[in-house]
């Protein structure tokens, strides 16, 4: 009984908002107002952060490695863009439509990832993204083919807030969607239902032996992650007015994987931190040496892996470790 109460208390405390979190979100929402010239970058960071959070649900909480997560991003982008062009330009309704399409695809794909090993899942997810890319290329009468879907005109958000050239409305719109979906995802993974995901990730056989429906958990998490990725794709198409084939590209899935390597997996904020660091490094380094920015990103990742995230953030630990080793040698 005491152990059960301790576990419940731990879950509630992990779901509770920390004191620094409101400050972080307030700073994020203040950025487009304080730096209007960088509002477009803030919007882009918010979108890729949501994309990274969606992959963290799959990778960090179930251990499924996906190199085709861009399939859901691309489907959400094209679905919302087509909805705006042919049905109605309302951003919120288009966002929900993009999420619904990505959710259906995620539910269908979840049936395939339940079979086979990690390598099989890797190939299946990658193959799905390639199939959708080729379909979008061939259906040029609908998607614009290699030229992309251009001229996506969006109406005002909630009928009041028009999209402006500086990107302030787009940034606040994307940040709001990110905050809402992030809060829901965090509440979900820190619930008793979400706590079983760790058991599924660490030891599926033992989780199955104690009565946890492993396949059901994997399918639900994969579907929810697809919905969040679809939301990121919808935001991308709505705020840029454009959807192109590169949303399905392998580079999208690889970049978001690198963001999780930078920020860490299994705590959701890792996707947000990784997105911020990755985009800032990309913009700064490409502005200095545009032809070599991938080299510097790769070098940073090598140092990160060799040194460790904790020691890289807190370099004074290096000296502490060296002093401990010296004392032990004596």
| Sign of the CA dihedral with 104 first, then 105, 106, and 112 last | positive
Q: Give the residue extent of every domain in the chain.
A: 20-269
Please tell me which residue, 324 or 302, carries the higher pLDDT value.
Answer: 302
pLDDT tens digits along 227-257: 999 999 999 988 888 888 888 888 888 888 8
Rounded to an integer, the average pLDDT of 291-310 is 70
Instruction: State residue 233's pLDDT score.
Output: 92
| 25 close to 176: Cβ distance less than 8 angstroms | no
Residue 20 has pLDDT above 70, yes or no: yes
Please tell me which residue, 195 or 171, carries the higher pLDDT value.
Answer: 171
pLDDT tens digits along 55-111: 998 888 888 888 888 899 999 999 999 998 888 888 889 999 999 999 999 988 888
Calculate what percentage of the chain has a pLDDT beyond 90. 16
Q: Which residue has the tokens 């960090």?
A: 60
Q: Could you give the CA distance from residue 50 to residue 233 in angstroms, rounded to a whole number?
A: 9
* CATH class of this structure's domain 20-269: mainly alpha
Q: Lowest-confidence range among 72-86, 146-160, 191-205, 303-317?
A: 303-317
| Sign of the CA dihedral with 110 first, then 116, 121, and 124 last | negative
Q: Token pair for residue 171?
A: 């940034």
Q: Lowest-confidence range among 100-104, 120-124, 248-252, 324-328?
A: 324-328
């Amino acid at each position: 009984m005491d152990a059960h109460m301790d576990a419940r208390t731990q879950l509630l405390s992990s779901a509770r908002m920390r004191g620094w979190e409101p400050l972080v979100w307030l700073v994020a929402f203040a950025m487009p107002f304080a730096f209007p010239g960088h509002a477009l970058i803030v919007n882009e960071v918010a979108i890729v952060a949501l994309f990274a959070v969606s992959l963290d649900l799959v990778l960090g909480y179930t251990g499924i490695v996906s190199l085709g997560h861009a399939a859901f991003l691309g489907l959400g982008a094209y679905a919302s863009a087509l909805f705006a062009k042919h049905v109605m330009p309302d951003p919120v309704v288009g966002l929900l439509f993009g999420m619904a399409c990505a959710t259906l695809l995620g539910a269908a794909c979840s049936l395939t990832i339940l079979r086979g090993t990690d390598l099989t899942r890797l190939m299946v997810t990658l193959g799905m993204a390639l199939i959708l890319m080729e379909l979008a290329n061939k259906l040029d009468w609908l998607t614009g083919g290699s030229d992309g879907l251009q001229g996506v005109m969006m109406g005002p958000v909630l009928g009041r807030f028009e999209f402006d050239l500086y990107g302030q409305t787009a940034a606040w719109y994307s940040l709001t969607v990110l905050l809402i979906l992030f809060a829901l995802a965090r509440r979900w993974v820190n619930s008793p239902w979400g706590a079983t995901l760790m058991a599924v990730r660490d030891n599926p056989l033992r989780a199955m032996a104690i009565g946890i429906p492993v396949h059901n958990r994997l399918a639900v998490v994969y579907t929810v992650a697809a919905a969040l990725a679809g939301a990121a794709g919808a935001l991308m198409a709505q705020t840029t007015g454009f959807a192109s084939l590169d949303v399905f590209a392998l580079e999208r899935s690889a970049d978001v994987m690198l963001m999780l390597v930078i920020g860490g997996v299994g705590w959701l904020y890792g996707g947000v931190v990784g997105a911020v660091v990755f985009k800032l490094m990309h913009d700064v380094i490409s502005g200095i040496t545009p032809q070599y920015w991938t080299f510097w990103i790769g070098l940073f990742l090598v140092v990160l892996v060799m040194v460790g995230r904790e020691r890289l953030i807190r370099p004074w630990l290096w000296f502490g470790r060296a002093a401990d080793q010296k004392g032990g040698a004596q």
